[in-house]
Amino acid sequence: MLRAEPPATAGKRRATKHGSGSGRGPLVKRLPSAPVLLGIAALAVSIGGVLTVNDVAPAADSDHSGITRAASALGGASGQGTVSARKDTVTRDSQRDAQSDAAGQQLKDAAEGLAAEHASAIKKLAGKAEGYSKVLAQDLWEYPLEPVILTARFGQYGLWSSYHTGLDFNGNTGDQIHAIANGEVISASYDGSYGNKTVVRLEDGTELWYCHQSAFMVSVGDRVTRGEVIGLVGATGHVTGSHLHVEVHPGGGDPVDPYTAMQQHGLF
């Protein structure tokens, strides 16, 4: 290998130049390793100092400046010069490397931090989506009777003394009535014009009324599952024919349009 003591001047000159160019940002790439530079230097020597111009005017901040300077220092110089340039370059490299390593580590840390943050955000979103789909699945309602034939809508005026407070599903006496949603039976008894009425309270406090039944299939306190048969269609109470009258009372309060409520829970 090449081995010689570099002239002090050459080293100083290089060091000074390096100092003036030390304002590089953290994104500077690493310079090629010393063996690569040696190869380039050898090439520069062989083509006879063509690159020396770069020695006079320091190159702009580019990734190639280190290479061209190293090469130019060798152009037309003696063997000793070659070695000195190499050593100098190595020194520059190690300084750069230290700087670059620190910057690289910072970038790495930042990138890892971002990646972790990203992964965490995605995980949260996935969790939310999963939770939401669970809520939706729980909240999905089912038709109490099928096929669905609506015979009277909410708010209509007809044989009722006031406007219709529910939604009527056509059905024959004895047809099975299915629970629209999960809940607890809080009432199952005859109630005047409503006839045999079952009230199921859902988890969110909404009360669903099933009216005019010919038979009850559940009792107060029972937990019912969506789709479960809770009674049979009838014509009890104030009716002109067999059908199921359904009412929806959010929070147990005033009735709202069951059609809209059902739409909000995936029906119609």
Interface contacts to Zn ion, rule CB under 5 A: 166, 168, 245
From 50, 81, 91, 82, select the one nearest 68 (Cα to Cα): 50
Question: How far apart are the C-alpha atoms of 180 and 2, rounded to whole Å?
Answer: 90
100 vs 198, which CB is nearer to Zn ion?
A: 198
Give me the least distance between CB of 157 and Zn ion, in Å please. 12
- Percent helix / strand / coil, the chain, rounded to 5: 45, 20, 40
Residue nearest to Zn ion (CB): 245
Give me the least distance between CB of 245 and Zn ion, in Å please. 3
Give me the least distance between CB of 191 and Zn ion, in Å please. 13
54 vs 196, which CB is nearer to Zn ion?
A: 196
DSSP 32-48: PPHHHHHHHHHHHHHTT
210 vs 216, which CB is nearer to Zn ion?
A: 210
Question: How far apart are the C-alpha atoms of 187 and 196, rounded to whole Å?
Answer: 10
Q: If you search the block for the tokens 């708010």, which residue do you land on?
A: 155
Give me the least distance between CB of 251 and Zn ion, in Å please. 21
Could you tell me if residue 150 is left (phi over 0), alpha (psi between -120 and 50 degrees) or otherwise beta? beta
Give me the least distance between CB of 171 and Zn ion, in Å please. 12
197 vs 245, which CB is nearer to Zn ion?
A: 245
Cβ atoms 185, 224 nearer than 8 A: yes
Question: How far apart are the C-alpha atoms of 175 and 242, rounded to whole Å?
Answer: 10
88 vs 168, which CB is nearer to Zn ion?
A: 168
44 vs 244, which CB is nearer to Zn ion?
A: 244
Look up residue 24 and give its DSSP letter: -
Exposure of 83 in the CB half-sphere (CA atoms within 13 A): 11
The token pair that represents 234 in the structure block: 């009838």
83 vs 200, which CB is nearer to Zn ion?
A: 200
